[in-house]
Every structure is written in C-alpha cells, then in structure tokens.
C-alpha cells in the first residue's frame, strides 16, 4: 500500500476544460507538496501547503490542503496544452515520499 494515493492515474481533456486531481492518505502530514514533471525532465515544485484547509493559487492552478492534513487537491481552470505533464504530490515522512502521479494530457 502506497503512502500517497493519487487519482485519477490518467486524465485526457480538451483545452479549456476544468479538472481536479487528488492526493489522499490515511496519515497526517505537517506539509504537502505538488510537483509537475515534463517528459525527459525532473519534477519541479509548484507549491507547498502547510496548514489544514489552506488554499493556494498559482495562476489557473488552485491547491487545497485538507482540513485534517491527510489529503490535497489540485484544480486547474481552463486547462491549456502547456499544463500537460505528470503531477506528483509528495510529503515528508522521515524522508521525502511521492505518490505515483496523475498523467494529464490537454489536447488543443
């Protein structure tokens, strides 16, 4: 059983659509991070959330940390082809652990 469960595993949408991806766990964490990875590159940090219920916005991306600090969501408004990539959540649990990711494809 993975520490972090991400869903959906794959998502393919048209440009302009909205979407939400999820990162869930049964454990409580002091913080949670979201990374985006493009083909042939390493992951790049998008955001860190630290407070239960916290909402952070990064242009068209909205990140929320669950009230109990066990889960998080990433919402993208009006998705664009440039949003295509693998979205990974990660937590510190004695060391840094990652979920398996959601692979998003945005078609023009």
Partner 1 sequence: NAGVTQTPKFQVLKTGQSMTLQCAQDMNHEYMSWYRQDPGMGLRLIHYSVGAGITDQGEVPNGYNVSRSTTEDFPLRLLSAAPSQTSVYFCASSYSWTGGEKLFFGSGTQLSVL
How many Å apart are CA 74 and CA 53, to the nearest integer?
A: 13
Any contact of residue 22 with partner 1 (CB under 8 A)?
no
Look at residue 30 and give its three-state secondary structure.
Answer: coil
What binding mask, one character per residue, do residues 27-56 give for partner 1 by CB under 8 A, x or -? ---xx-x-x----xxxxxx--x-x------
Q: Within positions 51 to 80, which residues make up the interface with partner 1, using CB under 8 A? A: none
Look at residue 49 and give its three-state secondary structure.
Answer: strand
How many Å apart are CA 70 and CA 4, to the nearest integer?
A: 9
Q: Toward partner 1, which CB reaches closer, 25 or 33? A: 33
Look at residue 75 and give its three-state secondary structure.
Answer: strand
Task: Note whether 64 and 73 are within 8 A (CB).
Answer: yes
Q: Which one of 11-19, 53-61, 67-75, 90-98 is the stretch in contact with partner 1 (CB under 8 A)?
A: 90-98
Any contact of residue 97 with partner 1 (CB under 8 A)?
yes
User: Rule CB under 8 A: which residues touch partner 1?
Assistant: 2, 6, 9, 30-31, 33, 35, 40-45, 48, 50, 88, 90, 92, 95-101
């Amino acid at each position: 059983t993975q520490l972090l469960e991400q869903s959906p595993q794959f998502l393919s949408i048209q440009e302009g659509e909205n979407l939400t991806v999820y990162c869930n766990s049964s454990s409580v964490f002091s913080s949670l991070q979201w990374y985006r990875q493009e083909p042939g590159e390493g992951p790049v940090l998008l955001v860190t959330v630290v407070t239960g219920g916290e909402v952070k916005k990064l242009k068209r991306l909205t990140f929320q940390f669950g009230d109990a600090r066990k889960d998080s969501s990433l919402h993208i408004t009006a998705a664009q082809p440039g949003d295509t990539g693998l979205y990974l959540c990660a937590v510190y649990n004695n060391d840094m652990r990652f979920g398996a990711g959601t692979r998003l494809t945005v078609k023009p």
